Amino acid sequence: MTVASTLPHREPLQISAWSHERRWSIRGTEPFQGMPLVDGTTDDLAEVARAARAWHDGATLDDLRQAAPFVHLTGRFEVPDHDPARLTESEWQGRRQEAAELEYDWQEPYQTLIEAAYAEPALRALYPFTSHWALRFSTTTRPHLTVVGPCLTAGSDGTYGLGNGFITPDLGLFPTAHEAVALAVHHLPTGLRPIKLDG
Kindly write down the DSSP assignment for every residue of 2-13, as one continuous string: EE--SSTTSPPE
Domain locations along the chain: 2-73, 84-186
132 pLDDT tier (thresholds 50, 70, 90): confident
The number of beta carbons lying within 10 Å of the beta carbon of residue 77 is 16
Reported as a single tens digit per residue, the pLDDT across 146-179 is: 999 999 999 888 899 999 877 777 899 999 999 9
Q: pTM (2 decimals)? A: 0.92
